[in-house]
Structure 1
C-alpha cells in the first residue's frame, strides 16, 4: 500500500532528522514524506535524504500556522492513505505499518506516545525507548476500541484522503498554538467518525515547555474564544483558569469571552518552565 507522511517543523531540524531516521528503520517505508516548514527556506530549514522521497513546502508567517500547515501538507500528498506525524516523533519500527493495517473508512487511527526527557543523538528507537515515560493521563487508554473524540491528538494520526476532505481539514481561522486539533475532533465526531488507537507507539523528543504555557497565552485565548463561538464551550480550560489565577487573563462576562489583561515578561515565562518530559 502506498502512503504519504506529513510533518510540520519550525526550528527543529535535529528532531526532524531523528524522525526521518526512525522512519527509514521501519517495516514500511512511506511513498513520500511531505515536510511543511513554517519558516523561510535556508540551510537550517532544509533536509536531503537519498532513501526517502521528500517534498518540502514553506509557509513564511510570523505566527505558528499549524492548521494551515497541516492542510498545505495534505494538499501536497499523492496517495489515499495519509499519516500525520509531529516532528518530535521517533517511530517504532512497526507503528506506521500498524496504523495502515487498521485504517478504516470514517475512522481516525492513532498510536500511543511515550516521552523522552532529552533530544537523542539519533532516531534509533531501540536505543532510546527504555528511557521514555508514559503520559499519566493517557497510559490507561485501550487500543482497538472507539475512544471519546476529545482524546484525539494531532501528534500521530492516520486517515484516508476522502475522509480528511469530508471533515474539511483543519480550520485555518485558528492561528498560533492551541484549539485547532480539538476543533478537528469536534467536527469529525459530528460527522459520525470514530477515533481509536493501535497497540504501538511513537517516542516524543523533549522540547522546552511551560506550565501553564505563558509563551502562547495570546494565541490560546484567541483560539479558545473562536472555539467557543463554534462549539459552545471553552477548550484548554485548565490553562485558561491558570492564566486567570495569575492575572494574565480575565473572563469578560458581558462578552462571554476571555481577554488578555497583562502580557507575561520573559522572566514570567521562564519562571513556569516545566521539567516534565510530557
Structure 2
C-alpha cells in the first residue's frame, strides 16, 4: 500500500524525531516522508534515518508560512494517497492503515488526538499512551460518519492527491498563524467532500501555547479579516473578542474589519501562557 506522509517543522527537531520513531512502529510504513522545514538548512534542521525514505525541503521566507509549506509538501509527494501529520504527533501503530482504508473519492479522513503533558524521550506509542489526555470537546465526536466540515483540523488528515488539487490546496494569502485550515474546510465543503474521523488516534506532544494566543495576534487579525472577505464570517472569533476585551484590537464598523491598535508586551504574552496540554 503505497502512500506519502507530509509534515512541517520549525525548531521542533526532538518532536520530529519522536514522530519518525512512531512511524517505524506502524503496521504499514509510508513509501516516503516529505519534511518541509520552515527555516534555513542547518545541522539542527535536518534528520537522518536509514529505515525511512525521507525527502527534506526548506522554506525560509515568512515567519510561519503554514499554507505555503503544506502546498510545497503536497507538490513534492509522488503517491496518490497522502497523509498530513503535524510534527507534534506520535502515531498509533494502526493509524495509517485506518486513515487509508477509509479513503474514497471526495473524502478526507482524520483521527482523534490525545494530549501529552510533556515531550517524551521517545516516540514509542505503547510506552506513553497511558499518560495522554483526551480533549474534552473533540472526544465526543462520532467516528466513521460524516461530520460538519468545521470540525476539520489540520493536525492529522488523509486524502487523495488529486482531491487536494480539486479543493485548490491551501490559500497562500493566509500568512502566519491562523485561518488557513478553516478556509480549506470551507472550500472542500462547497465541493461536497465528506470529513470522517476514524476510530484511531495520535498523541500530541506538549509545546508552549498561549490563551489567548497573543504571540500570533497580528497574523490572527489579518487572517480573520481575509477569511471574512472570502466567506462572510470571522474565523477565530472568540480570540478576536478576547483581543478586543484586552484593548489590543478594535472593530471598525464602517470597514467591517478588525484592527490592531496596540501590541502586547512580552510580559503580557508570558502571562497568557496556558498550562493545559490541549
TM range, normalised to the smaller chain?
over 0.9
Could you say what secondary structure the match of 1:177 adopts? coil
Q: In 2, Cα distance between the equivalents of 1:116 and 1:243?
A: 28
Secondary structure at the counterpart of residue 45 of structure 1: coil
Looking at structure 2, the residues matched to 178 and 240 of structure 1 have their Cα atoms a distance apart, in angstroms, of: 12
After the TM superposition, which parts of structure 1 deviate over 6 Å for at least 4 consecutive aligned residues? none
Q: Any stretches of 5+ residues in structure 2 without a counterpart?
A: none
CA distance in 1, matches of 2:79, 2:262: 47
Equivalent residue number for residue 140 of structure 1: 140
Partner residue, 1:271: 271
1:36 corresponds in structure 2 to 36
Q: What's the offset of the Cα at 1:62?
A: 3.6
TM-score scaled by structure 1?
0.99
Structure 1 unaligned residues grouped into runs of 5+: none
- What is the CA-CA distance between 1:137 and the residue it aligns to? 1.1
Cross-structure match for 1:260: 260
Aligned residues: 278
The DSSP-based 3-state class of the residue aligned with 2:166 is: helix
- How far off its partner does 1:66 sit? 0.2
Identify the residue that residue 131 of structure 1 maps to in structure 2. 131
1:243 Cα deviation after fit = 0.4
- Contact residue 26 and residue 92 of structure 2 kept, 8 A: yes
Match of 1:97 in 2: 97
Match in the other structure for 2:115:
115
Task: Using structure 2 for the length normalisation, give the TM-score.
Answer: 0.99
CA contact (8 A) 2:108 2:194 kept: yes
For 1:228-267, what aligned pairs fall within 5 Å after superposition? 228-267=228-267
1:203 aligns with 2:203: yes
What's the counterpart of residue 58 of structure 1? Answer: 58
Deviation string for 1:229-275 (max 9, x for gaps)? 00000000100000000011110111100011110111000001000
Distance 2:261 2:133 in 1: 36
- Measured in 2, the distance between the counterparts of 1:100 and 1:191 equals 21
Provide the C-alpha distance between the structure 2 equivalents of 1:271 and 1:251, rounded to a whole number of angstroms.
24
Displacement of 1:69 after TM fit? Answer: 0.2
Is 1:186 aligned with 2:189?
Answer: no
C-alpha distance after superposition, 1:192-249 (max 9, x if no partner): 1010100000000000000000000000000000000000000001000000000111
Task: Tell me if the contact between 2:62 and 2:175 (Cα under 8 Å) persists in the aligned partners.
Answer: no
